[in-house]
Structure 1
Amino acid sequence: MRLDKYLKVSRIIKRRTIAKEACASGRVSINDKVAKAGTVVSEGDTIEIKFANQILRAKIINISEHVTKESAKEMYEMISGKEDKE
């Protein structure tokens, strides 16, 4: 699955366009490498997102095309940072 779609489906970032913008500006990395929106993510990858005043780190646990809002949090494990960011 593409990085921007994963960020949207998992609800780490609420909108895919915002996920694309974050990737384009170099604020998103996978396994310590800056990633583009089209980068394919895999289970076990670590995502790091630099927001204005904090850094969010999450490990990908599950990749699903469609999930409910309640089960979206089961797609990743927070390493550091806060949930419900945009």
Structure 2
Amino acid sequence: MRIDKYLWCIRFYKTRSIATEACKKGHVKINDTSVKASRLIFNGEIIAIRKEQINYKIQVLDIPLNRVGAKLVDLYRKDCTPQEEFEKFELLKYSKDYYRKKGTGRPTKKDRRDIDDLQED
């Protein structure tokens, strides 16, 4: 089965075209090598996927015939993603919200000076 179809079948991507786009951009790798959307996958391979700033690692357990229900996804893949990846994402999320709240407008002169002071150090 093609890798883009596999990622769509196990509900990793919402549409097959999004999975194909991820392959074209180099977000999908097997053995540290970016792969085309048409690459065939086999049982036991480990796929590295970068999605929403998290590096997922998925092991192929079996190949589904078509798209599977959400409850059956774990029959076809094993999530090998280290817990540190999710912790890094949480820290990144908190660091973005720390300085300025969304929708507060442009930075003030004082904000710009503070930013300049940080960059000089």
Give the TM-score of the pair, scaled to structure 1.
0.86
Per-residue deviation at 1:62? Answer: 0.7
Give the equivalent residue in structure 2 for 1:78: 79
Task: Output one character per residue of 1:10-42: Cα deviation in whole Å (capped at 9) or x when no partner.
Answer: 111121011000000011001221111000000
Give the equivalent residue in structure 2 for 1:18: 18
Greater helix percent: which structure?
2
Per-residue deviation at 1:68? Answer: 2.7
Higher relative contact order (CA closer than 8 Å, sequence separation 6+): 1
Structure 1 segments, 4+ long, off by >6 Å, are none
Give the TM-score of the pair, scaled to structure 2.
0.63
Matched, 1:58 2:58: yes
Please report the RMSD computed on the Cα atoms of aligned residues, expressed in angstroms: 1.4
Greater strand percent: which structure?
1
CA distance in 2, matches of 1:46, 1:56: 10
* Overall identity of the aligned pairs, in %: 32
Corresponding residue pairs, total: 82
